[in-house]
Structure 1
Amino acid sequence: MSISERLKARGIELPRPAAPVASYQPVVIHGGMAYVSGQLPFLNGELVTGRLGDDVGLDRGVEAARACGLMILAQLEAALGSLDRVERVIKLGGFVNSTADFTDQPKVVNGASDLMFDVFDEIGRHSRSAVGVPVLPLGAAVEVDAIVAVSEG
């Protein structure tokens, strides 16, 4: 089953890839690797903003991280032409806009990690970081980047 068939079977629709908000490329492919710039969480076309431990709850944070994961997939599909070129998700980096006493960053970033497992099965299992930060671009609640091994196109 192709990845696009798997997405369809799971009822997952990828968003339109977001344009960069500054001077960078959304995806750089080099040496069999795709480096995906940090992606922000858009739900129903709206950026999820706020701070975990303050005005954003854990469930909303998980949902926001999943939205970042969907945007990573959309950016990869746009850059690669097909998600079937993904050989392995190597690493996700998760950044959670959170208060000093919020310590559930790993639970938040599971939203993106679990999506990668759902979409790619075993090749979606990856290493990861999940860190709390005092602020993110545009006031986003979460940002996730990725390193992915890809086949030649």
Structure 2
Amino acid sequence: MSVYDQLKALNIELPPVATPAAAYVPFVRTGNLVFLSGHIARKDGRPWVGQLGKDLGTADGQAAARAIAIDLLGTLQAAVGDLNKVRRIVKVMSLVNSTPDYTEQHLVTNGASELFVQVFGDKGAHARSAFGVAQIPLGACVEIELIAEVE
């Protein structure tokens, strides 16, 4: 099944690339690697704000991470023109706006990781880091960046 058939089966429509909010570009391609800048969680077109362990629970964080993964796929498509050219999702780095005693950043990040495997199969399995941080730009609850290998 093609990546686009899988997206359709999951009822996912890819968004256009968001305009950067500061002095950076949404992606950089070097050789067969594409580096996607961090994408923050958005809900109803605005930053999805809150802190895990205080304002939001793990399930909320997982939903936010999944929403970011969809945005990342839209950016990745813009970078390569065709998601079927993705050889592998190589690395995901997730920053979770969380209280000092919150320890489920890895579970929050599963919201993105699981979607990449659903969309790409074995090519979606990736190396990963998940960090708890004191704050994310605009008060967002989660930010994720991605590295992919492409044809």
Distance 1:137 1:79 in 2: 24
Equivalence map 1:122-133=2 (5 Å): 122-133=122-133
Counterpart for residue 138 of structure 1: 138
Q: Secondary structure at the match of 1:67?
A: helix
Please report the TM-score for the alignment, with normalisation by the length of structure 2: 0.96
Counterpart for residue 91 of structure 2: 91
Taking every aligned residue pair, what percent have the same amino acid on both sides? 45
Q: Per-residue displacement from partner, 1:75-112 (whole Å, max 9, x unpaired)?
A: 00111111111100000000000000000000000000
Q: Secondary structure at the match of 1:39?
A: strand
Distance 2:43 2:53 in 1: 20
Which region of structure 1 is more displaced relative to structure 2, 76-85 or 104-113?
A: 76-85
Counterpart for residue 103 of structure 1: 103
Counterpart for residue 16 of structure 2: 16
Please report the TM-score for the alignment, with normalisation by the length of structure 1: 0.95
Structure 1 stretches of 4+ with a deviation exceeding 6 A read: none
Counterpart for residue 4 of structure 1: 4
Displacement of 1:44 after TM fit? 3.0
Displacement of 1:2 after TM fit? 1.9
Which region of structure 1 is more displaced relative to structure 2, 121-130 or 43-52?
A: 43-52
Tell whether the 8 Å contact from 1:40 to 1:71 is kept in structure 2 after alignment: no
Q: Per-residue displacement from partner, 1:15-53 (whole Å, max 9, x unpaired)?
A: 232111111111101010000010111233232111001
Counterpart for residue 29 of structure 2: 29
Counterpart for residue 67 of structure 2: 67
Distance 2:85 2:43 in 1: 26
- Which amino acid counterpart does residue 38 of structure 1 have in structure 2? G
Distance 2:62 2:46 in 1: 16
Which region of structure 1 is more displaced relative to structure 2, 121-130 or 7-16?
A: 7-16
Q: Flag structure 1 segments of 5+ consecutive residues without an equivalent.
A: none
Alpha-carbon RMSD: 0.9
Distance 1:78 1:135 in 2: 29
Distance 1:16 1:6 in 2: 19
Number of aligned residue pairs: give it: 151
Which region of structure 1 is more displaced relative to structure 2, 17-26 or 96-105?
A: 17-26
